[in-house]
Structure 1
Amino acid sequence: MTNDLVVILTAFDLEYHAVRERLVAPQLHHHDKGSLFEVGRLRGSDCRIALGQSGKGNHPAAVFAERAIQQFSPAALLFVGVAGALWDKTELGDVVVATHVYGYHGATSEDDGAKARPRAWETAHTINQLAQHVARSDDWSHALPGDHTPKVHFGPVAAGEVLHNSRHSYEARWVREHFNDALAIEMEAAGVAQAGHFNNVPVAIVRGISDRADGTKNSSDDADWQPRAAAGAATFATHLAKQLIARQEHTAMAKERDTTSHTTVTSHGIAGIVARDVQNSTVHMSTGPESTATDLTVKLRGLRDQLANARANGAVDDATYKAANEELDNASRALETNEPEAKNRALLSLKRLRGLVAEVAELVTKIATTISAVNGLS
């Protein structure tokens, strides 16, 4: 898993550009089957976004999501865009975050009519909790233009293969009868949720309400609300992505601390253990020697050599190589000082370096051991 990267997928250009304008220096990334992504960093954050456009429909969205997961091993996958409201439970411009997704087209046809056999996917608890936190903070909406502050709603989203623009059609009556707790209706979430389920990757569906699925789609009101709804969904989703990466970093640092913690073994007999300190019958063991500045200098030099090899082999392009060397320089300078925050600055640079070369497994492994060594500094 790539601890600093979230995949965001959209269906249409309008939604894509609403996310893209929040990225810093996005770089084009080619999938070997022809799919394109742009990878950039969110402003003021260590969070990287791999952005792709799947097109309309659950089936292409599922395939695109599968490719993105296999390509980037993201911390999470978000599908972001606009949707139609159901039953007047939300206002135009509001944001809906799915608590679960209904694939509402599952059914069996019998002599006495159609019987619903839907599929449903529940949003992972962690991602739902973080989304609730973002919604409560209200900070996310400060980045939106104008004075409209969207409300954030949590509830089911219905996903099928029909573009809904009526409250009275057979399809509308079907959704009303079987899925009347759904807040929004769209055409991609079921495919994305299935791909996430198969790959054990948490998925969030974030939708801005652009119409009421009542015959007003493609009207002048719809043309006005679509960009506003797309902007609201993109803004909320990118704030959620930052929270997801912050949690990943917190979890990773906790694990790194655990690997350098001391173990206490209580013995009532003879302990055949080589230990750091022995006091009465309690043995204090260290899992490894503490790091020294000399050790870290050697590790950083090894990282530079391995980075140069990766560039020579074509695994790292020139722009990435330059940016990665800058992060190594930053880490080296920080470790040469005795300032209180030097260790944290070095760790931050190494984590950025890890993000830059996330696709080079050997480098990522070596960076991980270096981060552990920096954490071991006294």
Structure 2
Amino acid sequence: MDQEEIDKKCNSKNPEERKKGLHQLINDVEYLSDKKKVWEQLVKLISDKYIYTSYKDVNLLWKTADILGIVFLHVPDKKQASEDLYRLTSDKDSDIRWAAAKVIGTVFQHAPDKKQAWKELAILSADKDRHVRSEAVKTIGTIFQYAPDRKQAWEELVRLTSDIDSDLRWEVIDALGTVFQYVPEKNQGWKEIIRLISDKDPYISWRVVDVLEIIFQYVPDKKQASEDLYRLTSDEDSDIRWVAAKAIGTVFQYVPDKNQAWEELARLALDQKINVRWKAAEAVGVVFQYVPNKTQAWEDLVRLTSDKDRDVRNRVAEGLKKNFQYVPNKQKAWEDLVKLISDQSSDVRSELAKAIGMAFQYVPDKKQALQDLHKLTSDKDTSVRIKAYHSLGRISIYNASQSKDEEVYLDELKKAVEFFEKAAKEPNWDNPSKFCFPFYSSFYTIIFAKNRDAKGEVEKYLIEAKNEIRGSKNKKLLLEIIESLMSALNEVQNLENMSLEKKKEELDFYRKYCERAEELMKNTEKAVPSATKVMRIGSRILDRKLKFLLKEIQEKAKIACRESQGTDTEEIACAVKRKVQGWKAGTEEEMALDAEDLLTFMKSNVPRFPENEHIFEKIKEIENQKDLNLLLRSIPDLLKELPKIMIDPERVKPTIGIITALPKEYVAVNILMENKNDKYKIQGSGAGRRYCLGEILSEEGDKHNLVLATVGMGNNIAATRASILLEHFPNVKSIIMVGIAGGVPYPDKADDHVRLGDIVVSSENGVVQYDFIKQEIEDITHRNPPRPPSASLLDAVRYLEAEEILGNRPWEKYIDQSLSIIKIIRPSEDKDILYCSDSQKDIINHPKDPKRIKGQPRVFIGSIASANILQKDPKARDKLRDKFGVKAIEMEASGIADATWNHEVGYLVVRGICDYCDSHKNDEWQQYAAVVAAAYTRALIESIP
């Protein structure tokens, strides 16, 4: 839909039509060129009370606000657009004011008057509507770093902490934490935030503590900030002391005196109030690893195990469990830990059982630890027995993961399954073994299955495991691993009369499932390291043939290098051989990286010729292969193709392509090229395979390699031929269309008056394809033009323009050189006749132009019109001039622009003017026009570094 149709809908008297127009604006905004009009329509429609009539229209309002933020960036008059936006902040409808706050935040960086924008936000932050205030607060938090006066902005946020709405205060506190790093007075800011701990709403106090963790690291005076927290530990209100314990634990790693911070926490752990004690006990367990004196800290923790409250003892036990690995004297620490076996609280004994399983790898006397765990399996409490059996299972998994002997591995894995089974049988809803038992049972069955009955058994286990997932991300991942390995087993079992062990030796295809397991194991590494390691060992038991694949790859690379001796492919084939010979049968990650490196090397060194496209298709297939085994199996087939690769050094040299439409244009360019090979042919059938290769030296003495082709007239053939050239010469980064064109005179404006023999070069506005139109009853709409020319080539054009101002016109010597070779002269000025557009019988005078040099072309830089039309209508010519500002009209450039766009390379158009696109069109100036265009192109290329 075009702008005009949208306008009709947006201005309709029918609200539903206006709503449709708004939807269309949102959907088509990137295609609508008049962003000023789009902005005006959006501002008008966003405050249209008759559009947002239902609850679902809130989403439309949000979208409109988002689009306003985007369009603002493209509006020419941002001052006016800002005023339009600020008017919305006073709208009677709170939803519109909400949207205004949102948009101001989006466009703030680009607002011409940031003080005014901030003032509007400050007003909205005091709005009577809670949702408007909330959006303003979020916006202030987002754009705070761009505020014109950060101190004032901070004060406005702090003021909002007194808002009667506790939800808004919560949001303000979040914003304070977000922007704190940009606050000028951070010490003062800290005091203003910590004051909020005393908020009457306890949820606010807790949120403040979370914010303290974020901002403490930015406070310059951390010693004073720490003392502020310590003062709270003596507050009369136990809730404040509770918050203080939480806060100290949160910022502990940043405090300057960690021993003092620990003492404060230890003191709070002896507080009269239970809630303070257990919060402090929880905190000491979290911060233990940062305490300098860990021996003393451990003793403090152990003393807390005598607390009369079981919740406190339970948290202390958890702290002991987490921090066992950090204690210097692990023997003494273990003795302290084991004393909890006799604790009267089953929760504490349960934590101990769990602790032994987690700390086992650090325990000095592992035999004693196992005996203590076995003792707990007879505990009267169900949860203690579950944790004890589960820990025994975990320990067996750990032992298996450390084993280098497959028999020991098997034995430990078997014991783990038995322990998990015993734990799973205990009646308790929160029982991790209910998943672990079927999980490891299925794995054990897959790895060591001896018969076809294993499939049914594995499926049974998998169903049990699925039922115990309960939303755990890690469990789901591990279950996918088991399902992958089950699929691997199915692949093997489908082969008759072959033992499983033999199948493991002979078949590799099932590895795709194991590799999927490896992928998932990477995601579970941190959460379940021992389980992951066990899975890896099991996967290695299944894998027997990677080393044979490696040998095959290395042998194929040797053969490819040998067969390529003395050919153009020798260098790349032998480089591949050298790379592959360095491969080793390491981890799967290492081998995958080796393969990736090889494929990257080939993509970089194999020329992107059409003849080599099958190579790139093979590489793409291999890259998309997630199964390492199948990936490696595919590489030998790729290596067999190495001797057949089309190299042809000549085809990789050109970086600039030049295209002409007519033989006289081709000749004009050809004679200015050096070291030419003008009979170069690409093998194969069909047209478009003949080129001229050559060079042009830059001003610094570097060499630009060129390829020249001629195409015939018309945009369609030009686009096709340019595409073929870019496929044949993959290193071409830009194409210059060089030749003749009709000029667009402007007798009323001498500075824009193009004459015969002049040069027109495409500007940043590029090409106007004037036959790409929508024909309507009363009007013709021109569609969007092709993309602009190459930025680097336009740079060179501007360089030559600057040189001309200084009096240097390097193309003139090449004009003289070409004219002497072709043996022609510039047509007489008498032959440059301009006829009236309204009456082709009447001659009109050319305007006086002080910038012209007699007998030399003038260079114009501007838009060029292009179409599959041989234009001989002066009135149509003048319309194109008045509407688009074009300076030349021709028939190939838009095809070149389209082709280069599709291949992601640049283009430029250089035209010599040979007629005025009128009824008097003739060939008299054509050869000269071709020469001046070629001469300018030569000078242009020379100027490129």
TM-score (norm 2): 0.24
Aligned partner (choices 861, 875, 896) of residue 154 of structure 1 = 861
Query: What is the one-letter code of the residue matched to 2:760?
Result: V
Alignment of 1:249-328 (within 5 A): none
Question: C-alpha deviations, 1:8-38, integer Å up to 9, x for none?
Answer: 1000011010011112332322233431111
Aligned partner (choices 648, 653, 677) of residue 26 of structure 1 = 677
Secondary structure of 1:238's counterpart equals helix
Q: Does 1:42 align with 2:696?
A: yes
Aligned partner (choices 760, 763, 779) of residue 96 of structure 1 = 760
Query: What is the one-letter code of the residue matched to 2:693?
Result: V
Query: What is the one-letter code of the residue matched to 2:867?
Result: G
Secondary structure of 1:122's counterpart equals coil
Secondary structure of 1:108's counterpart equals strand
CA distance in 2, matches of 1:149, 1:107: 37
Identity %: 27
- In structure 2, relative to structure 1, the CA distance for the partners of 1:173 and 1:226 (3 Å cut) is closer
Which residue of 2 is the match for residue 233 of structure 1?
933
8 Å CA contact 1:8–1:80 kept in 2: the answer is yes
Question: C-alpha deviations, 1:347-375, integer Å up to 9, x for none?
Answer: xxxxxxxxxxxxxxxxxxxxxxxxxxxxx
Q: Does 1:11 align with 2:668?
A: no
Query: What is the one-letter code of the residue matched to 2:722?
Result: A
Secondary structure of 2:874's counterpart equals coil
Which structure: larger Rg? 2
Which residue of 2 is the match for residue 78 of structure 1?
736
Which residue of 1 is the match for residue 776 of structure 2?
110
Query: Greater RCO between the two (CA within 8 Å, min separation 6)?
Result: 1
CA root-mean-square deviation: 2.3
- In structure 2, relative to structure 1, the CA distance for the partners of 1:173 and 1:143 (3 Å cut) is closer
Aligned partner (choices 135, 157, 175) of residue 880 of structure 2 = 175
Which residue of 1 is the match for residue 872 of structure 2?
165
8 Å CA contact 2:912–2:932 kept in 1: the answer is yes
Question: C-alpha deviations, 1:275-318, integer Å up to 9, x for none?
Answer: xxxxxxxxxxxxxxxxxxxxxxxxxxxxxxxxxxxxxxxxxxxx
Secondary structure of 1:70's counterpart equals helix
8 Å CA contact 1:55–1:61 kept in 2: the answer is yes
Which residue of 2 is the match for residue 203 of structure 1?
907
Secondary structure of 2:709's counterpart equals strand
CA distance in 2, matches of 1:206, 1:127: 11
Alignment of 1:348-367 (within 5 A): none
- In structure 2, relative to structure 1, the CA distance for the partners of 1:173 and 1:128 (3 Å cut) is closer
TM-score (norm 1): 0.58
Gaps of 5+ in 1: 247-378
- In structure 2, relative to structure 1, the CA distance for the partners of 1:173 and 1:118 (3 Å cut) is farther
CA distance in 2, matches of 1:140, 1:233: 9
Secondary structure of 1:37's counterpart equals strand
Q: Does 1:52 align with 2:716?
A: no
8 Å CA contact 1:26–1:41 kept in 2: the answer is no
8 Å CA contact 1:45–1:242 kept in 2: the answer is no
CA distance in 2, matches of 1:206, 1:132: 14
Q: CA deviation at 1:243?
A: 3.1
8 Å CA contact 1:157–1:182 kept in 2: the answer is yes
Which residue of 2 is the match for residue 188 of structure 1?
892
Query: What is the one-letter code of the residue matched to 1:104?
Result: Y
- In structure 2, relative to structure 1, the CA distance for the partners of 1:5 and 1:117 (3 Å cut) is closer
- In structure 2, relative to structure 1, the CA distance for the partners of 1:27 and 1:17 (3 Å cut) is closer
CA distance in 2, matches of 1:233, 1:227: 10
CA distance in 2, matches of 1:81, 1:174: 24
Secondary structure of 1:68's counterpart equals helix
Q: CA deviation at 1:143?
A: 2.1
Q: Does 1:63 align with 2:754?
A: no
Alignment of 1:338-353 (within 5 A): none
Secondary structure of 2:655's counterpart equals strand
8 Å CA contact 2:696–2:941 kept in 1: the answer is no
Query: What is the one-letter code of the residue matched to 1:18?
Result: A
Query: What is the one-letter code of the residue matched to 2:706?
Result: I
Query: What is the one-letter code of the residue matched to 1:234?
Result: A
8 Å CA contact 1:58–1:188 kept in 2: the answer is yes
CA distance in 2, matches of 1:23, 1:226: 20
Q: CA deviation at 1:104?
A: 1.1
CA distance in 2, matches of 1:215, 1:118: 29
Q: CA deviation at 1:68?
A: 1.0
Which residue of 2 is the match for residue 293 of structure 1?
none
Q: Does 1:141 align with 2:805?
A: no
Query: What is the one-letter code of the residue matched to 1:98?
Result: S
Query: What is the one-letter code of the residue matched to 2:761?
Result: V
- In structure 2, relative to structure 1, the CA distance for the partners of 1:109 and 1:4 (3 Å cut) is closer
8 Å CA contact 1:92–1:210 kept in 2: the answer is yes
* Greater strand share, structure number: 1
What is the aligned length? 238
CA distance in 2, matches of 1:213, 1:111: 27
Q: CA deviation at 1:177?
A: 5.8
Secondary structure of 2:886's counterpart equals coil
- In structure 2, relative to structure 1, the CA distance for the partners of 1:174 and 1:151 (3 Å cut) is closer
Q: CA deviation at 1:176?
A: 4.8
Query: What is the one-letter code of the residue matched to 1:34?
Result: A
- In structure 2, relative to structure 1, the CA distance for the partners of 1:134 and 1:174 (3 Å cut) is closer
Question: C-alpha deviations, 1:60-92, integer Å up to 9, x for none?
Answer: 000101111111121321000010111332121
Q: CA deviation at 1:45?
A: 6.4
Gaps of 5+ in 2: 1-607, 609-651, 747-752, 804-808, 817-824, 826-853
Query: What is the one-letter code of the residue matched to 1:241?
Result: I
Q: CA deviation at 1:152?
A: 1.2
8 Å CA contact 1:160–1:187 kept in 2: the answer is yes
CA distance in 1, matches of 2:702, 2:929: 24
- In structure 2, relative to structure 1, the CA distance for the partners of 1:90 and 1:173 (3 Å cut) is closer
8 Å CA contact 2:662–2:713 kept in 1: the answer is yes
